Structure 1
């Protein structure tokens, strides 16, 4: 058996949500512990890859929509392991001068992003935690790439189900909202308790309980409060498969709620 490459500082025996999600999407940047976790959930919710790919399409389509509307700077927080096509490829396909900053607190993500982004103009990666917003907003890596006085797209895709209530996710979003210029967009998605299969949800919460970021499902109404202070675009905060008008993905056993807001 070929030995898997383990970068320095990475413990391959501890599950990583980023690597497990990479496995769900068909990627190869994951270890046995990640595949075991994802596989256990998929036994109860075999359509989990359908949900993961629907969320990925949501991310890419909204990125392109914003680029076509003239937004040329993108801050992807909780970016995870790069999956192609990705944010900078989608944005630069519309505007080659678009600037993108990827943020994640997982060191394995930093390793992969560093390799992927080397030599790509106007794109960088930052190892930082959304629970410390100043470490992101004041990071020197943002200088010359993100101008807070101009509209940008802030992406929180598949992130806040990994942030517990004690860390006040709505308050964290508000910190970024208050820094954003009018016309800036914010997109967000997270696992939703409404309509999720109870068995699959319980299994996912059980497996993730020992991870650095236990899984946290929230109601759609609770997730909607994250958009306070934004004008929410139609169709509102809905199942991720239903956000885009021509989405044809079938319903899934687990649910992800998604929405896009604009700062007035």
Structure 2
């Protein structure tokens, strides 16, 4: 069974985000970029399935500029077999991403698509669900455990009340949560091998999907600085401040 894993190039989660002086967006100049952490978990899940003999091939796919090739090479170094780059310079929104991934799935014909539940730059949490709807496949979101059986998958997912285990028929789309696994560190030999592996490149415009953003960012600003707390001397003073100053009572 082939497993398809979308990966996104985002600002490294260790980097402190800076807003452009004109508030038009996030300043990406000279900023370290990396694979989206949830997508890294997806790659690890797919590679483990292959190591367990439940998958035959892991294909990583990324949508973005030519520099996204670095993200794909990170996936290859972790154990992915092939990589596909869908090139576009547009800021691609979740619906367009889902449509492009559907085109890729139609040609690659995977038995399972493992998607990070969200990207840490826009936090949309939409692509996996939209992709499943476009393909007409079963979906299981927020997975913390995946077990494959005979043409089906048992997925333990995180919900508000705790854990829920559902069974879906394959092919299916599964979105990963943080507790699914801990991604491995790519070894130096694998990193060197990944640099030599060919990456299949396609142009997003050739797929017939409109990638131009439909949303316009009016303003981007940093969150307000948190105010220092105060100490109260009694419960009565606390209640009075909550009533008169905070206005919550």
Relative to the length of structure 2, the TM-score reads 0.35
- Give the structure with the larger helix fraction: 1
Ranked by relative contact order (alpha carbons within 8 Å, sequence separation 6 or more), the top structure is 2
- Structure whose CA Rg is larger: 2
Relative to the length of structure 1, the TM-score reads 0.33
